[in-house]
Amino acid sequence: MSSPYRALFAAPGSKAFSAAGFLGRLPLSMTGIGVVTMISQVTGRYGLAGALSATIALSAALAGPQVSRLVDQYGQRRVLRPATLLSLSAAAVLLLAVRLSWPEWVLFAACVGIGCVPSLGAMVRARWAALYRGTPSLHTAYSFESVVDEVCFIVGPIVSIGLSTAWFPEAGPLLAACFLAAGVFWLTAQRATEPEPHPRERKGGGTALRSRGLQVLVVTFAATGTIFGSVDVVTVAFAEEEGHKAAASLVLAVYALGSCVAGLVFGLLHFAGAPERRWLLGVCAMAVSMIPLLLVGNLPFLAVALFVAGLSIAPTMITTMSLIEEHVPRAQLTEGMTWVSTGLAVGVALGSSAGGWVIDAAGARAGYGVPAAAGAVAVAVGFLGYRRLKRPAPGRGGSVGQHDEHEERHVA
């Protein structure tokens, strides 16, 4: 591991809360695909499977910011444990309903409850911010967490699908629930690194989404999520048209690998200049990288194109977290991070639906027009909202300390 990453984990407790966060984050990539695999095996109905998975995603998008707002106000331990128990109880109902052939409405009700799962990524990033706020190490920490996200999305689906197909249908979602319980209770047991709650600052303060800069980030990432959701669906369909549907998981893993590589390298670098410029450049790079997908003719070319496309993901995500620090009050930092994840989740749901509709109408190759169009929307929103990102409000959360102008602004 390179020196900046070694230095990152010199802080007491950092290795433990990072490991707990990784364990508790695996269900993010395991649950949805696990439910699809489970339902399709038991009932053979992919429509029902997709609807249940979408219900979990949309429920999490609605509940996630509310859970994080309570975390900012009352602390991680007091909020995360009850929220997790609610989500685990709903997961248990879902597994029983599938095993015992209960009515479909029970399945949907259970999926709504599962959506109360807390955003472990935001919780871990908040701990890093409490440790390294205002220092270059926070940039390295956000880079590391972006890589962890990508590793989760590489490992999680493989484990979930593999267990559900090789063992029994409910195995994938069941293991995801176990990971969630272990990760959350391990993380919340670590009181020394838990960020201090801000009950007085939160009273009457409204939602973090009142920040004009955060609004730009959330809307842009809804378009970005549309890219991710449509690329996943279209790639599976393209691989099936090529006669190698099983290869889709490997091709998508290459997409995530590109982001992993970029995130690791990005964390070693320190930049001069305004972070909002790097953010806009990253959004543009993501949009441009979708254009070659319209020209794909075979799976090897698609894998190369997706690897290149993945190189812009992690750096853009990392810079986004830095911008949230500048545009959201410190007392609402966890909620602000969760709102961006919510925008991403809503976009993924939209992208999956739009990609499927285009595939049915015109075939897989035409489906890559959806991420290309979503990329164009992200660029448009980024340019239109750029001025908002250039003006962090006074008293905001504190920057990563990446350039002098912003450091002076926060010191003042």
- Say what the pLDDT of residue 121 is: 86
With CA atoms as reference, report the closest residue to 8 among 147, 129, 137, 125.
137
Digit-coded pLDDT (tens) for 133-189: 888 888 888 888 888 887 887 778 778 877 887 898 899 899 999 999 999 999 999
Residues in the chain: 412
Would you tell me the crossing angle of helices 120-132 and 46-74 to the nearest 10 degrees?
30
- Say what the pLDDT of residue 284 is: 96
With CA atoms as reference, report the closest residue to 218 among 309, 122, 340.
340
- Say what the pLDDT of residue 405 is: 33
State how far the Cα of 246 lies from the Cα of 264, in Å rounded to an integer. Answer: 28
Residue burial 176-200, b: 16+ Cβ < 10 Å; e: rest: bbebbbebbbbbbeeeebbbebbee
- Say what the pLDDT of residue 160 is: 80
- Say what the pLDDT of residue 202 is: 45
Confidence (pTM):
0.75
Contact 320, 149 (CB under 8 A): no
Class of 207-412 in CATH:
mainly alpha
Judge if 13-134+155-196 and 207-412 fold alike in CATH terms: yes
State how far the Cα of 134 lies from the Cα of 100, in Å rounded to an integer. Answer: 54
**Tokens 């106000």 appear where?**
73
- Say what the pLDDT of residue 407 is: 32
Domain assignments of the chain as residue spans, ordered by start: 13-134+155-196, 207-412
- Say what the pLDDT of residue 411 is: 27
- Say what the pLDDT of residue 89 is: 96
Which CATH superfamily is 13-134+155-196 part of?
MFS general substrate transporter like domains (1.20.1250.20)
> Which regions of the chain are under pLDDT 70?
1-2, 46-47, 50, 200-206, 209, 245-246, 272, 391-412
- Say what the pLDDT of residue 409 is: 30
- Say what the pLDDT of residue 203 is: 47
- Say what the pLDDT of residue 109 is: 96
- Say what the pLDDT of residue 410 is: 33
